[in-house]
A = this chain, B = another copy of it.
């Protein structure tokens, strides 16, 4: 027996589209994903890319509610949804998107903006909303590692401030496209080298640009461990995030949203500042965040 779709959740980012078939109680009935992220699609391709993924979950004669978060609400997305300005609740608003297919009603969650320092967010706010649903009294920092890592300061049930770091993108460019690509041969994280570099970044956060070339020089001169270049680069970049987070905020209570190697590396880095971060699952929080937005919209 197939359980009927109550609503469909979407996390539609720059490079991926993820979809979940949901029960009224918030259980996952099915999931699907594709690489048809926002940046790979032209406007007329959005609807076909979505239908391709969720076709089998739709009813022939009843509208299914679809609620999306992520870059799909950006200017280059399906429908531009205005940013809500911080401080604010992370999932405060949404906008109806124009859809041709009569079986779907699509709403896209708002992103967040901060004016000083200028910053924007689309997608991560939904995870923070999910966190606040699980822990309404949460007060502290939320760290969301990724291509563009986000650090979010939460208090009084609102996002007070946040900061984006291009850590993942910088790591990718330096390790794959720069002269360091010949040098960073280690595949697995070397915890000692990584932790040492986090420590260095915390002690001298200004020295990143001068450290980079030394990775190559050390290999050419055969001094230092040539096999730990990636671990060192990763440690410096994550250490820089930590140094700047400490400068801006109280870092005693950090919740880390994510899993896998990258989240492991952040968790390891937090050792250096004597913090054991609570780790939460990004998928669960995204779905909880979207579900809360659904419930708050009585007309939906």
Contacts and interface: CB of A to CB of B under 8 A. Distances in A.
A65 B163 CA distance: 59
A166 interface: yes
Interface stretch (A29-37, A173-181, A253-261): A173-181
B179 A221 contact: no
A120 B165 contact: no
A119 interface: yes
A237 interface: yes
Contact of A179 (B118, B169, B174, B206): B169
Interface in A154-212: 163-167, 169-170, 173-174, 177-179, 205-210, 212
Nearest to A74: B220
Nearest to A223: B118
Nearest to A164: B213
A241 interface: yes
- Interface on chain A toward B: helix, strand, loop, or mixed SS? helix
A165 to B, nearest CB: 5
Given A119-B214, A205-B206, A178 B173 contact: yes
Contact of A206 (B164, B166, B206, B220): B206
A20 interface: no
B163 A210 contact: yes
A262 to B, nearest CB: 16
Q: How many copies of this chain are found per oligomer?
A: 2
B166 A221 contact: no
A177 B177 contact: yes
A221 B113 CA distance: 8
Contact of A167 (B207, B209, B221): B209
Contacts of A118: 214, 217-218, 221, 223-224
Interface string A92-124: 000000000000000000000111011110000
A91 B220 CA distance: 20
A240 interface: yes
A118 B177 CA distance: 22
Q: Which 8 A-B pairs have the closest CB atoms?
A: A205-B206, A164-B213, A118-B217, A118-B218, A173-B173, A206-B206, A166-B212, A119-B217
Given A113-B220, A163-B210, A209-B240, 6 more contacts: A113-B221, A118-B223, A119-B217, A164-B213, A165-B212, A208-B209
Interface of A: 75, 83, 113-115, 117-120, 148, 163-167, 169-170, 173-174, 177-179, 205-210, 212-214, 216-218, 220-221, 223-224, 237, 240-241, 243-244, 247
25 contacts: A83-B221, A115-B221, A118-B217, A118-B224, A120-B217, A120-B221, A163-B210, A164-B210, A165-B209, A166-B178, A167-B209, A169-B178, A169-B179, A170-B178, A170-B209, A173-B178, A206-B206, A206-B243, A206-B247, A207-B244, A208-B208, A208-B209, A209-B240, A209-B241, A209-B244
